[in-house]
Amino acid sequence: MSEHFAEAVAEVFGHAAQHLGWTPGTFWQATPAELEMAMRPAGQHNTAPPTREHIMQLIKQDKDNGR
């Protein structure tokens, strides 16, 4: 089972690195939902834009993580 997982991760990370410019750290910190949303073609997102509160939470999270 681990061989299949490792192969799948390598393939998905390859796509994230090539198409999104993600580093390994960014890839491993992302949730599956974030990866799926990021890989969708432009204009195919079915989610509402982030709220101001959500953006502020993301900024705080980045500051807390030293970014």
Task: Report the b/e string of 24-36 with b at 16+ CB within 10 A.
Answer: eeebeebeeeebe
Higher pLDDT, 2 or 21: 21
Is the pLDDT at 2 greater than 60? The verdict is no
For the chain, the structural domain boundaries read: 2-64
Query: Could you tell me the two tokens for 52?
Result: 């101001």
**pLDDT in the model for residue 1:** 43
Which of the 8 DSSP states describes residue 30?
S
Whether residue 52 contacts residue 59, with contact meaning beta carbons closer than 8 Å, is answered with: no
pLDDT digits 0-9 by tens, 10-52: 888 888 888 889 999 999 999 988 888 888 876 666 667 678 8
Report phi then psi at 63, rounded to 5. Answer: -65, -40
